[in-house]
Structure 1
């Protein structure tokens, strides 16, 4: 969040409310509920009204502006990537493999170990 407000058109407590609302909404994005990254919100100017303006009204306007901006943005959901080592018995191997592939996982290495039976 960046405030470029000059003068007294927007009282400081309203600017704070805008910044707080923006930080809250990017933690739970509008598309899938995941955080929004690489996004900046610049507050340049505004106006207040004696009767209708409040910190809450500015927070609501911030959320509305964010949702409108995201509708026109080129959004992309980023999926988590991780390396995982899984050790399973051969009798459940196929089910585990199917579960990984179903979740768009990729198998980079398979290793079968001999087990000794006593």
Structure 2
């Protein structure tokens, strides 16, 4: 086993868990609350449903190594959107009232890495023979 394969596996597990947890919070608070917060940021309310589904289902799939590359691409899009709409005004490290976008930037970088390189170590993609997952 190569160290880059182990590193990609660890990124896949961590990022999958983090996105799942964020989706779970949205689900637990209620999708209406998520919709309201999206609308307050000037985004369409229906987008909250899509983001929540991607975070929940994509988080599990990412941890299992199923569709790693397309899910990582979706996570990257979500992070670009979060930085551009919810975090950019607070700056990189925050402004004293809101957290900054440093965490989102780290998740974006991890997502882009997995989008470009995949992660096949201990993945369902490798088991079922999907190409380069």
User: For this structure pair, what is the TM-score category when the shorter chain's length is used for normalisation?
Assistant: under 0.3
| TM-score, normalised via structure 2 length | 0.21
Larger radius of gyration: 1
Higher helix share: 2
